[in-house]
Amino acid sequence: MEHYERIKLLGEGSFGKVYLMRHREERKLLCMKVIKIKNIPRKEREACRMEVELLKRLHHPNIVGYRESFLTPRKDCLCIAMEYCDGGDLCEQIKGARRRLFSESKILHFFVQMSLGLHYMHSHRILHRDLKTQNVFLLGNGRVVLGDLGISKVLNGTMDFASTCIGTPYYMSPEIFKNEPYNHKSDVWALGCVLYEMTTLNHAFDSNSLNGLASKIVRGKYPPINPKYSPHLRDLIASMLATSPAARPDMDQILRHGFIKRHIHNFLADIMSREQSQIGEGTMVVKAAAVNLAGGGGGGRSSRSSTGSGAVLSRNRDMQALQEQMEELGLQSVVARALQAGRAAREQASALHREEDRKRAVEAALARLRSEREQRLAQRQAALDAAKGNRGGERGGGGLGVQRPVAVVRRESGQARARPKACGAREGAGSAQNPRRRARCCCRRRRSSSSSIAAAAAAAAAAAVSGGRPSSSAQ
């Protein structure tokens, strides 16, 4: 435990707790399950040992990743370090939907990954036996993993049957309620219940009592799904929830179905279209496996991005397991088409990014030009205002007498230019028909009469000097 730093408690149960931890050296977040093994029933101790053994054996990007396990110094607790799923579980997603149904593409995006993980377990003759929405975990980048393998059962042969009545009642198959032996088809039933729950946000079979629930499950009657979903999805749910195990398809048949193959293509094409910085390590493993299967090579390089050597080995095993699984399912052509579609989508996204960058550059240039133009206009206006102020000062300082303030108006606006006045009396102001006529004030008339009197006096004086005869100008 000295290599880990505890961050917070994620959950707890009867025999242990789950913590979010950070590795002190690698600085990676992990999920640590701490299980009390002292004074617990032998059955629970065996389940802990089984979970550790299965996690060590199973290497697949759609099964929760195992890191290490160890005992505490007092030997009273078993610690299992696993991959941290930051997206919560599927049950939380369904509750958070709040009656808003999932799209069919989202449902099948989850279902394809769950099917790949469960098919891998069945190919290794392992039953999950407790498949439910609480044990389907999501990561923030869209990857789905199966977890909580504590009650999984390892079968010795492909036709072996288990006989222990175990699991969550809502997802139990009819053969378990009938106390009959069951095999991998019981997991198919549980996965069908999970698929139904994603389409309706409700359990396929529900009742107030265990006997009522058992009766509904044995009869296999459930409400129909919303008509917005395709007939292919409706038929898939009906086949997986067949009451007879022989009538149910196995995971190999489901993944080879044309309807599911189309969504495997969509799932892989979505991963191929993402940039390297937009996907996590687990999703990078899926991408590397697809590239290797299609003959593109270079997949191992992306899976070696992890820092720890143990993580590198685990990721390489996950990639190899997925590559072999898709090859066994005959998905080579599907993967090749997905690679082409992903490459085309990536090129289209790159072209859109370039176009957006060009638009942003043009908008920035236009904004810069507008700013410069506004600055020039502001400078020009300031210069005009300064020039007008200088002219107004010169006019105001040259007049005599008391100058009365008047408004200065632009000639361009069509208004008359203001003039200083020596008095307030106006005579003969301009009329509306002739607004340009200047007003005459009384002081101008007084000045004109004074000058005429002076001229007459000068003429009289000249006549007296010339012999008493007035000049013609005086007459």
Is 465 within the bounds of a domain?
A: no
Structure confidence at residue 140 (pLDDT): 79
Q: Which of 144, 103, 143 is nearest to 271 (CA)?
A: 143
pLDDT digits (tens, 9 = 90+) for 9-63: 888 777 778 888 888 888 888 888 888 877 777 777 777 777 788 788 888 999 9
pLDDT digits (tens, 9 = 90+) for 77-87: 888 888 888 88
Question: Directed axis angle between helix 309-328 and helix 332-398, to 10°?
Answer: 120
My answer on whether 36 and 144 are in the same domain is: no
Structure confidence at residue 351 (pLDDT): 77
Best-predicted range by mean pLDDT among 41-55, 67-81, 107-121, 174-188?
A: 107-121
Is 471 within the bounds of a domain?
A: no
Q: How far is CA 309 from CA 28, 173, 286, 304, in A?
A: 14, 42, 19, 9
Give yes or no for a contact between 174 and 240, defined as CB atoms under 8 angstroms apart: no
Structure confidence at residue 340 (pLDDT): 86
Is 449 within the bounds of a domain?
A: no
Is 47 within the bounds of a domain?
A: yes
Number of neighbouring beta carbons within 10 Å of residue 198: 26
Taking residues 268-290, report their average pLDDT: 83
My answer on whether 51 and 135 are in the same domain is: no
Q: Is there a catalytic annotation at residue 130?
A: yes
Confidence of residue 116 (pLDDT cuts 50, 70, 90): very high
My answer on whether 181 and 250 are in the same domain is: yes
My answer on whether 192 and 59 are in the same domain is: no
pLDDT digits (tens, 9 = 90+) for 230-239: 999 999 999 9
My answer on whether 57 and 205 are in the same domain is: no
Question: What's the DSSP call for residue 418?
Answer: P
CA atoms within a 13 Å half-sphere pointing along the CA-CB vector of 411:
3
**DSSP string spanning 162-182?**
B----S-GGG--HHHHTT--B
My answer on whether 127 and 260 are in the same domain is: yes
DSSP 3-state of 36: strand
Tell me how many domains the chain contains.
2
Q: Which of 186, 136, 152 is nearest to 56 (CA)?
A: 152
Is 253 within the bounds of a domain?
A: yes
The edge-to-edge listing of strands for the beta sheet with 77-83 is: 4-12, 16-23, 29-36, 77-83, 66-71
The parent domain of residue 42 ranges over: 4-83
User: Pick the catalytic residue: 130, 148, 187, 318?
Assistant: 130
Structure confidence at residue 84 (pLDDT): 86
Confidence of residue 444 (pLDDT cuts 50, 70, 90): low
**CATH code at position 42:** 3.30.200.20
My answer on whether 43 and 160 are in the same domain is: no
Average pLDDT, the chain: 79
**CATH code at position 99:** 1.10.510.10
Is 345 within the bounds of a domain?
A: no
My answer on whether 36 and 179 are in the same domain is: no
**DSSP string spanning 207-242?**
-SSHHHHHHHHHHT--PPPPTTS-HHHHHHHHHHT-
Structure confidence at residue 300 (pLDDT): 43
Greater confidence (37 vs 135) lies with 135
pLDDT cut 70: percent of the chain above it: 74
pLDDT digits (tens, 9 = 90+) for 334-392: 999 988 888 787 677 777 778 888 888 898 999 999 999 999 999 988 888 888 888 77
**pLDDT value at 298 more than 50:** no
Kindly tell me the sign of the dihedral angle through the C-alpha atoms of 457, 459, 460, 464.
Answer: positive
**Last residue of a domain, which of 229, 246, 273?**
273
**Last residue of a domain, which of 66, 83, 100?**
83
Give yes or no for a contact between 312 and 59, defined as CB atoms under 8 angstroms apart: no
My answer on whether 138 and 69 are in the same domain is: no
**pLDDT value at 453 more than 70:** no
Range of weakest confidence among 241-250, 365-374, 457-466: 457-466
My answer on whether 130 and 158 are in the same domain is: yes
Structure confidence at residue 400 (pLDDT): 46
Confidence of residue 107 (pLDDT cuts 50, 70, 90): very high
The strand pairing partners of 365, in sequence order, are none
Is 254 within the bounds of a domain?
A: yes
**Last residue of a domain, which of 240, 273, 306?**
273
| 33 labeled part of a ligand binding site | no
DSSP 3-state of 198: helix
Confidence of residue 245 (pLDDT cuts 50, 70, 90): very high
My answer on whether 54 and 145 are in the same domain is: no
Structure confidence at residue 454 (pLDDT): 62
With a CB cutoff of 8 Å and minimum separation 6, the contacts of 43 are none
Is 443 within the bounds of a domain?
A: no
My answer on whether 103 and 79 are in the same domain is: no
